Amino acid sequence: MDGLGYEMKHYWWVNHSQTFQQEIMGQYLWSPKTEAHGVRSHFYENMCSAVPGDLVLSFANTKITYVGVVLDFAISAPKPSEFGSAGANWSNEGWLLPVTWTRLETAVSPAGLINDLRPVLPSKYSPIHPLTGRGNQKAYLSEVDRRVVELMIPNKLLETLSMMEVEKAAEPRFAAIVEQLDDAVEASINSDTSLADSERSQVIQARRGQGAFRQNVVDIEHSCRLTGVTNRSLLIASHIKPWRSCANSRERLDGHNGLLLAPHVDLLFDRGLISFSDDGGVLLSHHLQRDDLERLGLQQAVMQSTGVLRPEQREYMRYHRSNVYLRTSVK
Amino acid sequence: MDGLGYEMKHYWWVNHSQTFQQEIMGQYLWSPKTEAHGVRSHFYENMCSAVPGDLVLSFANTKITYVGVVLDFAISAPKPSEFGSAGANWSNEGWLLPVTWTRLETAVSPAGLINDLRPVLPSKYSPIHPLTGRGNQKAYLSEVDRRVVELMIPNKLLETLSMMEVEKAAEPRFAAIVEQLDDAVEASINSDTSLADSERSQVIQARRGQGAFRQNVVDIEHSCRLTGVTNRSLLIASHIKPWRSCANSRERLDGHNGLLLAPHVDLLFDRGLISFSDDGGVLLSHHLQRDDLERLGLQQAVMQSTGVLRPEQREYMRYHRSNVYLRTSVK
């Protein structure tokens, strides 16, 4: 805390393109994970660096009209259907960042303040051109200095937003959003007439780690890789590549696409706060706090290898590492 | 293991009454929790002493026709609707014990073997009369000596059943049964025209610990009582009196009917493997193995008081202790 009475971890600036209205109405940001042909994008990777409580300036049509607060970590999610034909060239799987937006009483034009902004804009990855104040077409989510925000947003509003204590909010958005995504997939499976009834039923049971999928996982994995729990009553059959992201029934039922995990380990893995390397080492997201790990009693466990992954598991784990795991850019 | 090549933890004998067919077809046993007026029943309390892998002799119409293997611990569940008018005098909430049944090639009449059975029948709580071999009308689930079983069931079948390794079965029945029960409650809530749409939506969100219910819990509880985790992203809002057992929307949404628990603690609490005394002490079911507790990193935590429960929480916790917690009879 300083004299201004607020302090957020990061300040972000998003350059909306065609999907401005959808993102504001839907209370989120959505981006592909990479540029075309898998080229890495600093602006897209920033989606995974945002944490609950961060502030976001929304820039569209030459103006900042909304300011938002991040509600949860980024979630791997398909391109929202409300985008319609907008962003038709984007990949279908991307990062969804839950944000709650507030409309400014008076929209602000950065171009009009460019002389004040210029000295505090980032020298690399700036969201706007430091001479003209016009948007950087390549930018999506950029990190900016707090002084950039202070120049454009009334101090009183900033204080109010920082008081939201989003980190302590009752309800992180993850569970609700994933349930919505899963429901949509389940509806499409239910209406897929190419599936036999028995297969459809198995695929739907697999959503909650039950039925044939669980049986298939148990044939391969015998205990929780972190805690060593072997008692089946205490273990969850967890998809490595999420059920909602699987390409077809084969992936949804494949025993190699699963791990048996104790419930707290399952949550960390689903949430992308941990992942595994091919040799079974545990990867920790920077978003996973050391004291949380300690309270969960997992601090020792994450130091050890959990046993080499089978070749068939590795493909799924590669998906988890690039699409679920919250690998944050190192500053 | 002994010379006979099998060994189960317990051997049980159930005296079915009017609901024989339903229990065999449905792959379970079901009993009320107490006699009328809340009088404790040794035979009903035995339902909570059965563990996965135990053997059950099914006695009905003077004969043993089926033998079963217990698939999971007892689950608090309403009287099955397929009972119809049978057992109309039983309370609506009881214990459901998942059992997989095998029909004997030849039904066995205990009365015909009574001279052999007499010396090995239990002296107290015997399922049949030791002189006549006729069923004890008061008995439901009785524990019997292994020799009782050996006198009536072919040795080869016993070996086969003991090979089922149910304790290591892929899928304990708890999750699937609770989901079915919850689905039935959700369907009845959806068709309850006395509820306003907004209330209905809140009550259904509460099933998964989301929405208004979670908000209400967060107003009262601030961290996991066992692990001390405070990070909301890692905490589940868990009903004390289960959502499916609540009498009405008020109970389903009441913040005093909830705890914030880390996911592994939530599973133990839901499953009845732990409960809490009014002063916040942790109660451990005999079914919870010491090495599982250790692997989950909870061995220290369960020794401590977690803080006195509020008076409003105590009523719900009393329900949990008598209806969910697997308090096993001391032998």
pLDDT digits (tens, 9 = 90+) for A66-86: 999 999 999 999 899 888 888
DSSP assignment string, B265-306 = HHHHHHTTSEEE-TTSPEEE-TTS-HHHHHHTT-TTGGGS--
CB distance from B232 to chain A under 8 Å?
yes
Which of B176, B211, B292 has the CB atom closest to A231's CB atom? B292
**Taking 60 as the threshold, does the pLDDT of residue B330 lie above it?**
no
**Taking 70 as the threshold, does the pLDDT of residue A331 lie above it?**
no
Say how far residue B306 (Cα) sits from the centre of its chain: 25
What contacts B217, CB < 8 A, 6 or more positions away?
A: B209, B237, B255, B258, B259, B260
Residues 259-318 of A with CB under 8 A from B: 262-264, 266-268, 271, 289, 292, 295-298
CB distance from A171 to chain B under 8 Å?
yes
pLDDT digits (tens, 9 = 90+) for B263-308: 999 999 999 999 999 999 999 999 999 999 999 999 989 888 889 9
Query: Which chain B residue has the Cα nearest residue A169?
Result: B232
Q: Is B295–A229 a contact, with Cβ atoms under 8 angstroms apart?
A: yes
Q: Is B232–A172 a contact, with Cβ atoms under 8 angstroms apart?
A: yes
pLDDT digits (tens, 9 = 90+) for B53-111: 899 999 999 999 999 999 999 999 989 988 888 877 888 889 999 999 999 999 999 99
Residue with tokens 């016993």: B158
| CA A86 – CA A36 distance, rounded (Å) | 15
- C-alpha torsion sign, points A296, A300, A303, A304: negative
Query: Which chain A residue has the Cα nearest residue B215?
Result: A170
> ipTM beyond 0.90?
no
Chain B residue numbers touching A234 (CB-CB < 8 A): 264, 267-268, 292, 296
pLDDT digits (tens, 9 = 90+) for B10-20: 999 999 988 99
pLDDT of the residue at B6: 65
Q: Is B232–A72 a contact, with Cβ atoms under 8 angstroms apart?
A: no
Query: Which chain B residue has the Cα nearest residue A225?
Result: B295
Chain B residue numbers touching A297 (CB-CB < 8 A): 227, 296-298
Crossing angle of helices B263-270 and A263-270, in 10° steps, is 140
What contacts A191, CB < 8 A, 6 or more positions away?
A: none
Q: Is B169–A266 a contact, with Cβ atoms under 8 angstroms apart?
A: no
Number of H helices, E strands in chain B: 12, 11
Hey, of B218, B291, B296, which one would you mutate to test binding to chain A, going by the most A CBs within 10 A of its CB? B296
CB distance from B52 to chain A under 8 Å?
yes
**Taking 60 as the threshold, does the pLDDT of residue A2 lie above it?**
no
